[in-house]
Copies of this chain bind each other. A is one copy, B any other.
Amino acid sequence: MKGWEAIRGDLRARIAARHWPPGAVLPTETALAAEYGVARGTVARALTDLAANGLVERRRRAGTRVAQMPVRRAVLAIPVIRREVEARGQVHGHRLLDCRSAVPPVAVTAALDLPEGGPLLHLETLHLADGRPFALEERWLNPAALPSPAPDFASVTANEWLVATIPHATGEIAFSAAAASPREAAALGVPPGTAVFVTERLTRTEAHPVTWVRLCHAPGYRLATAL
């Protein structure tokens, strides 16, 4: 390896080896640039990257110092479900269990910041991996945010259709554990009350709230990442 990534790597190693202990100020960009024989900008890139990863803290004039209690950041990739299944070497399938306009629970309208009582499009989809239940998706879609006509959600999952159609939206995501409701248990083919991993996601564009989803994963699901 070479270039600014090599410098980043070397700095990482020296920090890990406590060459600069936590809290210590490390040399200035200029000094490091001289040491590595590169331009200041190159060292700055490496340091900026380390700062972005929380390994060091940088303040103007104060210099760069090794973080004392680094808050670990885990970057989770949240792919489309089909990708997730395919990444496990399985075949993805899905069945649309329900698709109609209905009035959502207050919790949903509140989360979406929509007036109470307005009907939303309700979808219920069962995702399959190699033909076996993988996750149950319950989704409320804001019709005002959808182009018309709405697509055929039996052939394309709402999940994929949304990322393709309204790709660049913001939102929140939350993970929790819950006991499977009778309905969820039946769909997933597990005993009621089984512990299931739940993902709840909220999506909105600048203009509209778009969708609220609850994904109920079949037992055995793990969300893993390096940190």
* 9-residue interface stretch from A88-96, A126-134, A136-144, A159-167: A159-167
A179-B195, A195-B177 in contact; A171/B226 too (CB < 8 A)? yes
A16-B168, A193-B193, A195-B178 in contact; A173/B71 too (CB < 8 A)? no
Complex Cα–Cα for A124 and B193 (A) = 27
A101: interface (CB < 8 Å): no
Residue of B nearest to A66 (CB): B167
Which of the residues B68, B72, B177 comes within 8 Å of A221, measured between beta carbons? Answer: B177
16 intermolecular pairs with C-beta atoms under 8 Å apart: A12-B168, A22-B164, A22-B167, A66-B167, A69-B80, A69-B163, A73-B76, A73-B78, A74-B78, A170-B227, A172-B225, A173-B224, A175-B175, A175-B197, A177-B198, A177-B219
